[in-house]
Amino acid sequence: MTVNDAPNNPLYLLVDDDAVFRERLARALRKRGCEVATAGNADEALDLARLNPPERAVVDLRMPGRSGLELVRELLALEPATQIVVLTGYGSIGTAIDAVRLGATYYLSKPADVDDLLAAFERGSQPVEPAIGQLAAPSLARAEWEHIQRVLADADHNISEAARRLGMHRRSLQRKLHKLPPPA
């Protein structure tokens, strides 16, 4: 029996343009006995998935070329049973909702380690029912940042169009986008 045939050791596909981060996660998964394939962009990932569809995929949201959301759609078109965790350093509620609507199992913000990923795959297979007391209102800065991310996604990441929709100057929007997201 190969590693890929073992029920507890599915084939993972890690897709992230940050080679150091990608290889660190791959090494940690391999130490746990998992078979891992890695790719630096959506095209490489699709080539690998066509040869050997993964049971689980970890997809970075923002990469050169096509986005992680597009890759989620295409991976699920190849193999609908693939579990996908979307991973990003630019997380927002809007992109998390988009990822889950497209079929992602779960959504994680960076930094994340292998334990976070494995827990996300486990949580993703269970129904989510947050308690009302656990839902906290985001800060004003976080709400503004999430709104900007949502409008930007709706404008297909066209900064000029997003700025027009937000009623602000394009350069002001660019300055806001270069900042790190505020804490939730």
35 near 41, Cβ under 8 Å? no
Together in a domain, 38 and 71: yes
pTM attached to this predicted model: 0.66
Local confidence band at 91 (pLDDT 50, 70, 90 cut-offs): low
Q: What is the pLDDT of residues 129-142, one digit of tens each?
A: 443 444 456 677 87
Q: 150 lies in a domain?
A: yes
Considering only CA atoms, which of 66, 19, 77, 25 is closest in space to residue 42?
66
Position 160 pLDDT exceeds 90: yes
180 or 62, greater pLDDT: 62
How many angstroms from the chain centroid is the CA of residue 35? 20
Together in a domain, 99 and 151: no
Q: Is the dihedral of CA 94, 99, 102, 104 positive or negative?
A: negative
Q: 29 lies in a domain?
A: yes
Q: What is the pLDDT of residues 21-76, one digit of tens each?
A: 899 999 999 999 899 999 999 999 999 999 999 999 999 888 888 888 899 999 99
The count of structural domains within the chain is: 2
Where in the sequence is the domain holding 60, given as residue range(s)?
3-124
Together in a domain, 54 and 118: yes
Q: 162 lies in a domain?
A: yes
Local confidence band at 156 (pLDDT 50, 70, 90 cut-offs): confident
Q: 183 lies in a domain?
A: no
Together in a domain, 110 and 68: yes
